Amino acid sequence: MNFDFVRLPFTFVVLCALQVFILNHIQLFGCAMPLFYVWFVVTMKKGTPKWAMMCWAFALGMTLDIFTNTPGVAAAAMTAIAMAQPYLLDLFMTRESDEQIIPSAATIGKKPFANFTIVMVTSYCVIYYTLEMFSFMNGLKWLECVVGSALLTIALILAFDRLRNKG
């Protein structure tokens, strides 16, 4: 049985609920918000077809857009990083890695996973806040949101990965 058939929908629902009911209510300094749902795309299996990854990412982003009243912003940003994920993952993995590997510190190494997470999350935050603000008139506020949210999200993803791989 294909384990992703159960894992992906379950993860989808849990991440949506976590983001909508808990994480959306955490804002540091009025701009930095943890966007933990990016973990969904960061940890997509290496051999996942690109069309499936983009469909899942779009669906998750659109679901969050519906609940957070951001028309298409999360959907566009999630789809963009889902499109880049296979190529970025190849940059941080060794060539002889398994085709069906799920990215984590345990499978690709601590430093490569941390770097991969930093690139993915920062890319997401830049796209998300650029689309949300749709202007660079308040560049300092944009930079605060991007850096603050990226740091919070990266810290959450790396901490969760460490906890998940301890057991």
Q: What is the pLDDT of residues 73-109, one digit of tens each?
A: 999 999 999 999 999 998 988 766 667 788 889 888 8
CA separation for the pair 84, 50 (Å, rounded): 9
Query: 104 and 113 in contact (C-beta within 8 Å)?
Result: yes
Q: What is the pLDDT of residues 14-72, one digit of tens each?
A: 988 988 898 888 888 888 899 999 999 999 988 889 999 999 999 999 999 999 888 89
CA separation for the pair 44, 53 (Å, rounded): 7
CA-nearest of 50, 49, 112, 45 to 81 is 50
pLDDT of 118 over the 80 cut: yes
Residues near 89 by beta carbon (within 8 Å), at least 6 away in sequence: 46, 103, 116
The class that CATH gives domain 4-166 is: mainly alpha
pLDDT of 1 over the 50 cut: no
Between 50-68 and 73-92, two packed helices, what is the crossing angle to 10 degrees?
140
- pTM flag (> 0.85): yes
Q: What is the pLDDT of residues 127-153, one digit of tens each?
A: 999 999 887 688 888 999 999 999 999
Q: Give the mean pLDDT of 114-137.
A: 92
- Alpha carbon 49 to its chain centroid, in Å, reads 17
CA separation for the pair 141, 139 (Å, rounded): 5
